[in-house]
Structure 1
Amino acid sequence: MAGNVIASRIADFLKKYPPFTALSKEELYTISVEVVVNHFEPGDYVFRQGEEGKGYLFVVKEGAIHLERQEADAVVLVDICDEGDLFGVRAMLSGKPYVFHGRSAEESLIYAIPIAYFKPLMESHSQIAMFFAAGLAGGQANVLDANVAKRIPYQDSGALLNWNRPLEKTHGALVWMSPDESIKQVAITMSDKRIGSMVLRHSTGDIAGIVTDTDFREKVSTGKVSIEAPVKEIMSGEVITMPLGQPLSSYLLKMLRYKIRHICITADREPVGMLSERDLMAAHQNHPVTLVYAMEEAATFQRLIDLRNQADDLIRFYLEQQVSISLTASLTTHINDVIIHRVIDMALQEMQENSGPQPVGFSWVCLGSEGRSEQLIRTDQDNAIIYEDVEGSTADKEKVQQYFLELAGKVNQMLAEAGFEYCPADMMAGNPKWCQPLSEWKKYFSGWIRQPQEKALMLSTIFFDYRRVYGSEVLITQLKDHLKKEINEERIFLNFLAKNALKNPPPLSFFKNFVVERSGEHQHEFDIKARAMMPLVDIARVLSLETGQLDEMNTVARYHLLAKEEPKRQELYHAAADSYEYLMRIRALNGFIHHDSGRFITIESLGKLDRQILRNTFEPIYQLQQMLELRYQLSYFN
């Protein structure tokens, strides 16, 4: 009876802390029965660096444990573990000796959980695997701890950068079978080969689909499909493939984007192996995937805000460590998209309770830098709602618009509370003008194109860089098709848009000095957005619209696509892409330093090398503007 009471108390303690929160009451009790309770005096060692693993995972019940790394002439404090923290994880995962000392800094009570009982639970719970893979336990870099101040920062400077190294090989050769094989035979083969997924191929060699452990659990174990049925009845027909040799970050982003856990790796377009989420985690890298998952599962809006605030530290680290801008921007975009998704879900749930379900389908779109997936720091909101056309009376149409305006108002407010300020120009979905049915948006686009006055051109530069973040893809496709049709019929619009792209001359004076603001709040500061970034953005947009390329909004990606379209100007377009990436980095870092948008830079604050690099980024602007002048015969458009 006493043993049962102790086990119950241990279970009650553990269930308050991750990753034990993912376990059921029965699972918690099962491991709690096996827990060994240890008492340590100040200065006692739980384990020493280089010692063989003791076969336990340790949890601090009371007190504090210092994780220390023994170096040649010093002991370096790596981490401090207090109540609820886990440590001894690396040895558990790798089976290798301890890489740190675990020393009691004060009188401490430690729960030792036998690995033999805990590991099976870790392997069957993806949330627990993610917890350890993301480095959330003691001695692993912590990116999600809500109480960061209690930890002494320790970061292997190469850990995040290693995401840029290419995938050199897969874990074993590809194992595949026919989609006509029985589920039972496929399951036996997967068990024998100790693999969690299998590609299914036709006799011709073409990929038919993929089957994973999840399919067996959800479709076979539940009795929905007989184990004797052909495996094609439970397979997923869509198989995501990527070539070998890509940076690890590329595979990670693909998994995040498609919410999948397996990617089929190809070489010369032939499947050669599988890459799983667990394979990526096995390297014990510090990565943002757990941050994203935690945001997706945040129980409260405040938790969502806290997690988004923590993401800024990760983004700044990436920028300072020269991680590629494309990776950093993609991760930032995905993090922002997740918070927008959650906020809209929360607002819709509240609307459902008070005003009923949404009346028609809709799309929430982001505009401007967020629409182009270029927002590295949180700036003001630019968004809109496109909803399906409504049949019926004027009153019916107004009622539908009021529903979406109420939704937009809630979302705009919540995003503002999360650090995305209201747009000063009110370019937001909560503005009735930017919350309209598809037919009205088509009229907007047609009007701007067919009557390209100054305001129409300004609105075009904002609204033509739109990206769906939530809702119907069909509405976006229809609007895109309409835009393409209108531009093809009114090619003269591109001349006006090109003229508008030249409104900001190259940002160097005749004497090669930076053109700075002459008056106002930012006198003597350099406007990196208006004088350097926007010319590159505007030119890329014009040229992309001319080629009919409306699927890619990102400025860097646009220039790379243009380089393929026009090989003769390939060098110039690649230089423009490089320049824009540098400008994005320097603006974002300036913003993090000054806690603002980073738009205005004091040139004297830059080192000599940075000033020279900044000057060099202006050369492509000058060349591109000259090219536009000639291509669109802009001397005739005064």
Structure 2
Amino acid sequence: MKNSIAERISDFLKDFPPFNLLKEKHLFEIATDVNIIYLEKGDTLYKKDEVYHEYFYVVRNGGVSLYHHDTDGNKHMVNINDAGDIFGVRPLIIKENYKLTAIANEESIVYAIPIDIFQSVTKNNVNVYKYLITSFASNAYDPYTAEENTKIFVDYLPNTSQDIVNFQTANYTKNPVCCKENATLKEAAIKMSEFKIGCMIVVDDKKYPIGIITSSDIKNKIATGLFPITTVVTNIMSSPVISDKKDLTVADAQLKMIKYNIGNLCITEDGTPNSKLIGVLTNHDVLTSLGNNPTAILKDIKRASRTKTLRTARRKANGLLKSYLDQNIPLTHIINIISQINDAVTMKAIEIALEKMPTPPPVTFSWLALGSQGRKEQLLFSDQDNALVFEDVAEDKYEETQNYFLELSKLVTKSLNKVGFEYCEADMMASNPAWCKSISEWKAQFRSWIMNPDDKAILLSSIFFDFNHIYGNQNLEKELTDAIYETLGKTSLFFRYLGRDALKNPSPLGFFKQFLVEQDGEQKDLFNIKYRALMPLIDTARLLVLSKQVRGINNTYERFEKMAELEPNNKELYESCAYAFKALLKFKTKQGILHNDSGKLIDLEALTKEEKLKLKRCFKPLHDIQESLKLRFDLANF
């Protein structure tokens, strides 16, 4: 008799990791024993310190929030799990009591996956456990506890100096060039030359690897006259070979090569020399894999002396970004790494430009990143937004000094454009005289925007108030910040203008909960996730921290988290906004990688039902925070 319930569960799970890594029969075996749990809003599935269950969980419908409890007993939301998300995997990974509390965010259906059965059908599936360990680190991560943060990232996830690439499967050469044990060295050498390879695996009749010949062997044993070129390969090959299975990680491969002082690993069907050869992993393969990690990329950037080299290094970060997203690395970790890389690219572009200038700078200056780079939220290539502040000079020297920095800025922006960052269509770049000024001129500019707000001033404020020092004299940036906050303390009208601007894009859902899409032009029927969802959150977070005189926090989700700290009564709303922003940014980035564009325009018809539900769930806190702004800044009739 058919088990229709198990079939429906299996059909749902197969679209989500790690279940999409399982064979159909194994997935059905798990689905047969899944428990279905119904939760009302506010129901608790498990609590902090509760004895671990015999299950881990998958959200079928609705949402389940994970909360951390601080030493005072206050709870802080860490994450919201949507349809297809797994959580509660601590018992599966390390058999410990729960560190977080799981509470239904709304009416929800949850699948409880029996751990024993899951382990029995996945015990040899390395990719499943890589995903689960990453997911565990992501869900267990507690942003409020440095000790927990350190423990998780040391034990399960890398930091910027020891990258996630170490836990990825090593890419080896499949179908390697081989020779039989009765072949002569001359025959082997001709083959190596023909295929441009540095080693040759010697195999027996069953294609089991019995030895390896390298270029060093030919140099040390043939060129020196120890053996004639006509000798059989078995006389000079290194034997026995060192082997491993196809799913070994880069880290494991490195350790094995170091332990045995070798440069090549044989990849066999069962990982031993007593099975068929299916590939070879060289030291070069390992180094190539390790080259796509933050430390290596940053080193490449620092060594770059030409824009072409800089472009190559920065484009490696795109592969890194995709890898991180595929492995469900926490977005906060991704943002920190890509932001470091973007800033390093800009710094190097400035250094290269300075070398091309005929003379050193006449005075000190500060290069400021604006917009998404200024907020450290620039994951994909986008257009440039930057400005330059230089020291005050005598009036008769101003034009000459400004011209120097305009020429420098043109070289920098040209270099960044070659790297992949488009020129700003609105010309909001340091190469524009309007955005390349002395510190006094910049102070006057911000004072004018704040004290005499109008639509143009507010538009520019949305870009220029998110500045971040990249290169040069940081005291200039600090001096400008001090002047801005001093002026902000003299007016409340400016905040009302910013509030009105934050409300210009209302909730992205219409009256019947349908998505509001573009109505005409090339973008017709597409959903603009940047302007309808992300920008309202960005604008709101900026307004709130400015009104609270909060300095040094530019990132949108960090701004909301700071507001949760400052206003405990609204903590849940602010934490929901922080989560929504990260979820939306991650979605936009994935779409951009998928379609090789900015990701801001989304074809809703190409999304799954679950993806649409996740998007809609992010819009609720946006609606709620906008309603809050109306009251806080008296915007109803403004």
Name the TM-score, length of structure 2 as normaliser.
Answer: 0.59
Q: How does 1:584-595 map to 2 (within 5 A)?
A: 584-595=585-596
> What is the letter of the counterpart of residue 355 of structure 2?
Q
* Structure 1 residue 363 corresponds to structure 2 residue 366: yes
1:313 maps to 2:478: no
Retained in 1: the 8 A contact 2:305–2:352?
no
Q: Give, in angstroms, the shift of residue 70 of structure 1.
A: 5.5
User: Higher mean Cα deviation, 588-597 or 423-432?
Assistant: 588-597
Are the counterparts in 2 of residues 465 and 553 from structure 1 also a CA contact under 8 Å?
A: yes
The question of whether the paired residues in 2 share the 8 Å contact of 1:507 and 1:515 is answered with: yes
What amino acid is the match of 1:609? E
Residue 379 (structure 1) aligns with: 382
Per-residue deviation, 1:588:
1.1
Structure 1 gaps, min length 5: 1-37, 80-86, 104-134, 146-285
SS at match of 2:507: coil
Q: Secondary structure at the match of 1:331?
A: helix
- Tell me the distance in 2 between the aligned counterparts of 1:98 and 1:50: 19
Structure 2 counterpart of 1:292, one-letter code? L
Is the 1:361–1:472 contact (alpha carbons within 8 Å) kept by the matching residues of 2? yes
Give the counterpart letter for 1:101 in structure 2: C
Are 2:513 and 1:512 equivalent residues in the alignment?
A: yes
Letter in 1 for 2:286: Q
1:331 to 334, 337, 355: 337
Looking at structure 2, the residues matched to 472 and 457 of structure 1 have their Cα atoms a distance apart, in angstroms, of 27
Tell me whether 618-627 or 93-102 shows the greater mean CA deviation. 93-102
Helix, strand or coil at the partner of 1:592:
helix
Deviation for aligned residue 1:474: 0.3
For 1:76 and 1:536, locate their aligned partners in 2 and report how far apart those are by CA, in whole Å: 42
Rate the CA distance shift 1:60–1:301 in 2: closer, same or farther, 3 A. Answer: farther
8 Å CA contact 1:363–1:386 kept in 2: the answer is yes
- Quick one: percent identity of the two aligned structures? 36
1:140 match: 286
Whether contact under 8 Å (1:91, 1:98) holds in the other structure is no
Partners in 1 of 2:598 and 2:588 — Cα distance? 8
Partner residue in 2 for 1:243: none
Change in 2 beyond 3 A, CA 1:455/1:101: same
The AA in structure 1 aligned to 2:481 is K
Aligned match of 2:229? none
Counterpart residue number, 1:426? 427
Structure 1 residue 484, shift from structure 2 partner: 0.6
Q: Paired residue for 2:302? A: 296
Task: Give the drift of 1:142.
Answer: 2.7
User: Distance between the aligned counterparts of 2:602 and 2:514, measured in 1?
Assistant: 14
Change (3 A) 1:531 1:98: same
Structure 1 CA distance for aligned equivalents of residues 247 and 435 of structure 2: 56
Q: Tell me the distance in 2 between the aligned counterparts of 1:58 and 1:558.
A: 58
TM superposition shift of 1:589: 1.4
Contact 1:57 1:92 in 2 (8 A): no
Change (3 A) 1:57 1:631: farther
Q: What is the one-letter code of the residue matched to 1:543?
A: L
1:521 partner SS: helix
Aligned to 1:216: none
TM-score, with structure 1 as normaliser? 0.59
1:100 Cα deviation (Å)?
Answer: 3.4
Asked if the contact 2:370–2:385 (Cα under 8 Å) also holds between the matched residues in 1, the reply is yes
2:392 aligns with 389
Q: Which residue of 1 aligns with 2:201?
A: 45
Deviation of 1:299 after TM superposition, in Å, equals: 3.5
- Indicate whether 1:478 and 2:479 are aligned: yes
How do 1:166-205 residues align onto structure 2 when only pairs under 5 Å count?
none
8 A contact 1:53–1:92 mirrored in 2: no
Question: 1:327-373 CA distances to partner (integer Å, 9 max, x unpaired)?
Answer: 1111111111111111110110110xx2x110001011111111000
- SS at the partner of 2:470? strand
Contact 1:532–1:618 (8 Å) recurs in 2: yes
CA distance in 2: counterparts of 1:46 and 1:370, whole angstroms: 53
CA shift for structure 1 position 137? 3.4
Q: 2:457 aligns to what?
A: 456
The 8 Å contact of residues 144 and 291 in structure 1, kept in 2 or not, is answered as no
Conservation of the 8 A alpha-carbon contact between 1:143 and 1:314:
no
Contact 1:88–1:138 (Cα < 8 Å) also in 2:
no
Matched residue SS, 1:364 = strand
Q: Which residue of 2 aligns with 1:414?
A: 415
1:503-540 residue CA offsets vs partner (Å, 9 max, x unmatched): 11000000000000000111000000110000100110
| 318 and 59 in structure 1: CA distance in 2 versus 1, 3 angstrom threshold | farther
How many Å separate the matches in 2 of 1:60 and 1:426?
61
Instruction: Flag structure 2 segments of 5+ consecutive residues without an equivalent.
Output: 1-184, 192-198, 220-237, 269-280
* Matched-pair contact (CA < 8 Å) for 1:364–1:384: yes
Partner of 2:355: 349
CA shift in 2, pair 1:348/1:52, >3 Å: farther
Matches within 5 A, 1:270-285: none
Tell me the number of residue pairs that the alignment of Structure 1 and Structure 2 aligns.
Answer: 410
SS at match of 1:596: coil
Q: Does the 8 Å CA contact 2:407/2:431 hold for their aligned counterparts?
A: yes
Distance verdict in 2 for CA 1:499–1:93, change over 3 Å = same
CA 1:77–1:463 in structure 2 vs 1: closer, same or farther (change >3 Å)?
closer
1:518-529 mapped onto 2 (5 Å cutoff): 518-529=519-530
Structure-2 separation of matches of 1:93 and 1:70: 14
Mark the CA change 1:140 to 1:317 in structure 2 (over 3 Å): closer, same or farther: same
**Structure 1, residues 437-485: CA drift from partner, whole Å, max 9, x if none?**
0111111111111111000111111100000111111001011111111
Q: 1:438 to 1:101 in 2, by over 3 A?
A: same
**Which secondary structure state, in structure 2, belongs to the residue aligned with residue 634 of structure 1?**
coil
Looking at structure 1, the residues matched to 428 and 407 of structure 2 have their Cα atoms a distance apart, in angstroms, of: 16
SS of residue in 1 equivalent to 2:283: coil
Q: Aligned to 2:522, what secondary structure does the other structure show? A: coil
1:582 counterpart SS class? helix
Show structure 1 runs of 4+ deviating over 4 A. 38-44, 46-54, 56-61, 67-71, 75-79, 95-99
Distance 1:429 1:98 in 2: 49
